[in-house]
Structure 1
Amino acid sequence: MPTHVALVRGINVGGRKLAMADFRRILGELGHTDVATYIQSGNAVLTSTEPDSTVVADGIAAALDRELGLAVPVVVLDRDEYARAVADNPYPAVEETPKLLHAVFRAAPIAQAEIDAVAQVVEAAREKTGVPDDATAVGRVLYLHLPEGLGRSELATRLLRPPFTKAPDGGGTARNWATVTTMQSMVEG
């Protein structure tokens, strides 16, 4: 059976609570097996008879809304897509300090117009702050290299707000590199 990584956006922040026990229960009730969650931010590895990650994501999002009233975007990648996202990291030197690297997973490949907009935001943020923050889009992932961390990053602030969050997937969902690699270890089992 296909293995998937499910990433829920914006839970356990801003009043949107999702206990991981409830998340695992809902995933099981949807027919997914071998369900494992990681920390409290909506990360799960699961197997499913459904090979299409978009169908899996839509089912999870609908169940979270129906069961818990959580209308939140869900991004799902299959095993190969997730492994490719990890391998495609354009900032491998940062892996030693995973808090400086984040991956924003998107429901669909990032369009060229958005890639161009990201480049403009990178330039504007650097001009404003002098900090060499950077962002690179590869497929369905926007990688954020933030030398001074996420909390102080002008670039992250700009990219994690409208207009970038107006996409149907809410602009995707971000994970720090430590979480990304831990999830990869869970996938590899």
Structure 2
Amino acid sequence: MAKQVLFVQGAGEGVHDRWDNKLVASLARELGESYAVRYPRMPGEDDPSYSAWKAALMGEFVSLEAGAILVGHSVGGTILIHALAEQSPELRLGGLFIIAAPFIGEGGWPSDDIHDCKDFSERLPPGVPVYLYHGADDAIVPPAHVHLYAKAIPHAVVRTFERRDHQLNNDMSDVAQDIRSVG
């Protein structure tokens, strides 16, 4: 049976169908038939609400099996990590992979919707490998944000890529390699 991967899209008008679908296609191609990548449409992608996206994520978590992999891109990664810190799913996760996510809090971006969290390591599900990715040429979320997350999650593996943009140039080969390494 294929290992489950839940991919949480970023925010913005048309992101699900015109941008992040390319990331999902690359990830599915790189992972192969041993993995089943799910890509649900998040509510109100052009104006995301933390509470609406968190509720949608909690609904998705119910249908996951033990060892499922969670991948979040951009604002989707931000919301995913905050939702997990607030309310872990019942099942054991195989890994958390966050790509080009804005950091909320000191040094990062402000939010009226999401509270800042200085230390995720104590609040995330225990024993779950965490990987953080960012392209050095990201013109949407400053690359410094990945280092703010690294400080808040000291056990995370951090990967920054030269000449890669907010979408990692639509190349998920490095992420797929790390996903295969954890499960």
With normalisation by structure 1, the TM-score equals 0.25
Question: Between Structure 1 and Structure 2, whose CA radius of gyration is higher?
Answer: 1
Structure richer in helix, relative to its length: 1
With normalisation by structure 2, the TM-score equals 0.26
